[in-house]
Amino acid sequence: MSSCEWAANLAVDYLGAMEARDLDAARRLVAPGDLDIVFPGGRRFTRIEEIVANSSGRYRIVKKRITGCTAWESGPRAHVMITGTLYGEWPDGAPFEGIRFCDWFELQDGLIVKQHVWNDAGERLLALGRGTEA
């Protein structure tokens, strides 16, 4: 295993746990009390439960197709960038797919300490004439 492959695997495992709503598994992969997660629109979270509550009104189902994963080290921290597309259902049950995403992770001492999330979901909603309230 390369020096950063463990970090990439951990980040992918975290995304899988969050997608499956296995919050216990996800919690084991993040630094307790030192978590900084930023979602589109500048929404900040420090706990996994906050992320779940935030997305519950935005999507009925949301999943990720990972198309790229890059990891590197910088000092005592490892960094991982994961790209791909989102698919699932809006709250009204309408399906969606092909929404680009990028998740950037920072890991220290074998745990996730930061995650920044970017995606085009808001732009898709605007294109559908639904606004960004979802």
Residue 20 lies in a domain: yes
Containing domain of residue 29, as a range? 5-127
Residue 98 lies in a domain: yes
What is the domain-level CATH number for residue 71? 3.10.450.50
Predicted confidence at residue 99, as pLDDT, reads 94
pLDDT in tens, the chain (134 residues): 456 899 999 999 999 999 999 999 999 999 988 899 999 888 899 999 998 888 877 889 999 999 999 999 998 999 999 999 999 999 899 999 999 999 999 999 999 999 999 999 877 777 777 654 44
The total of structural domains in the chain comes to: 1
Instruction: Give SS3 for 72.
Output: strand
- Asked if residues 28 and 13 have their Cβ atoms less than 8 Å apart, the reply is no
Predicted confidence at residue 131, as pLDDT, reads 56
Residue 132 lies in a domain: no
Taking the whole predicted model, whether its pTM rises above 0.75 is answered as yes
Residue 102 lies in a domain: yes
Residue 107 lies in a domain: yes
Residues β-bridged to residue 47: none
Residue 34 lies in a domain: yes
Predicted confidence at residue 133, as pLDDT, reads 47
What is the distance between the alpha carbons of residues 87 and 67, in angstroms, rounded to a whole number?
Answer: 13
Residue 133 lies in a domain: no
Residue 134 lies in a domain: no
Predicted confidence at residue 59, as pLDDT, reads 86
Alpha-carbon dihedral sign for residues 109, 110, 112, 118: positive
Q: Report which DSSP code applies to 125.
A: H
